[in-house]
Amino acid sequence: MSTQMPVTVLTGYLGAGKTTLLNRILTEPHGKKFAVIVNEFGEIGIDNQLVVGADEEIFEMNNGCVCCTVRGDLIRILGGLMKRKGKFDAIIVETTGLADPAPVAQTFFADEDVKRQTKLDAVVTVVDAKHVIERLADKHGHEAADQIGFADVIILNKTDLASEAELAAVEKAIRRINAFAPIHRAERAQVPVDALLDRGAFDLQRILKANPHFLEIDDDHHHHHEHATSFSFQLDKPINLERFQSWMQQVSTIIGTGLLRSKGILDVAGSDKRYVFHGVRMQLQGDVGKPWAQGEQRISQLVFIGRGLDPEALKAGFEACIA
């Protein structure tokens, strides 16, 4: 697993500030080297003197970073980058402002070569603190909501343009869609690089150590919201892995594109290692994780984020997977 290149998907609605954030990642002296895949290189707005040399699609930067344009197939470009492995520390994929991040994220599950060589580390969503509530209410609201619901990390940007009361309302709206992703407030996208990258976003144990209340949801949480909502469940009894995998396939088939994300850590019957599971839409993936520590309480934890979810049915289904 350690040989896989970590990939961060950067998304956010038009005007939220992700281009500014990308500029910061590329130009600030953090000592790290990134390969950055963008839709069109010209959209980044990087000063010309930063470009050292370029072939048709891959641009080298004078700070050691590499930039690519996606005019064709993302899988092909990732394959080209992997031939340069060792020249950068991580990959960042920037999506367009109106893009659903799901197809990009699914790339890292669907193609065997990509799955073997890379690891989807986190989806980072940039949110405009001043306009997001208005954005969620307009005709493109489902796109903005899906970007928030998909996030493992949320950058609440342009906080200097909103009052504390407005920021509190925005964070409440975000929490109705995604109850779990950490929120970083920012002005002009000033966020430490280590808050965005190498997050290990599917490691629930790491998150729970930092925030023991991570899995708690308010009682007034909406079960059927027109946008995305999030629910979590935990069990203190071992899970039958085969039954769980079969059930998750059923869940993803029945809910379909309404299921944005699923992730969890399971205590599997007969195994002394935790099972780490995550899904992007209908693409599901799991792998054996680190061993349970001696004396550690073994708890299976599962998170769903999506639209039209039935928490009672999901809870009953999960409980039916108990060995």
User: How do the pLDDT tens digits run along the chain, 323 residues long?
Assistant: 457 888 998 888 777 888 788 877 777 777 888 888 775 444 444 444 444 444 445 555 555 555 555 555 678 778 888 887 777 888 888 876 656 777 777 778 777 888 888 888 888 999 999 888 888 887 656 778 888 888 889 999 999 999 999 999 999 999 988 888 889 999 998 988 888 887 776 556 655 665 566 555 443 433 333 467 778 888 999 999 999 999 999 998 888 878 888 888 899 999 999 998 888 777 788 888 889 988 888 989 888 888 888 999 999 999 999 99
Q: Are residues 21 and 71 in the same domain?
A: yes
Q: Are residues 166 and 131 in the same domain?
A: yes
Considering Cα of 200, then 205, then 206, then 211, what sign does the dihedral take? Answer: positive
Query: Which of 13, 6, 12 minimizes the C-alpha distance to 35?
Result: 6
* Beta-ladder partners of 239: 268, 322
Residue 163, judged by CB atoms within 10 A of its CB (0-12, 13-18, 19+), counts as exposed
Q: Are residues 220 and 197 in the same domain?
A: no
State which of 167, 201, 235 marks the end of a domain: 201
Residue 271, judged by CB atoms within 10 A of its CB (0-12, 13-18, 19+), counts as middle
Q: How far apart are CA 37 and CA 156, in angstroms?
A: 23
Q: How far apart are CA 259 and CA 238, in angstroms?
A: 25
Q: What's the structural domain count of the chain?
A: 2
Reported as type and span, the H/E element at residue 94 is strand 90-94
Quick count: other Cβ atoms within 10 Å of Cβ 137? 11
State which of 157, 181, 201 marks the end of a domain: 201
Q: Quick one: pLDDT at residue 151?
A: 87
Q: Are residues 139 and 238 in the same domain?
A: no
Residue 94 to residues 20, 69, 122, 286: CA-CA distances in angstroms? 12, 10, 12, 25
Residue 272: which domain range? 205-319
Could you give the strand order of the β-sheet that contains 183-185, starting from the edge strand earlier in sequence?
Answer: 51-54, 58-61, 66-69, 34-38, 90-94, 5-12, 118-128, 153-157, 183-185
Q: Are residues 43 and 184 in the same domain?
A: yes
State which of 147, 181, 201 marks the end of a domain: 201
Q: Quick one: pLDDT at residue 60?
A: 53
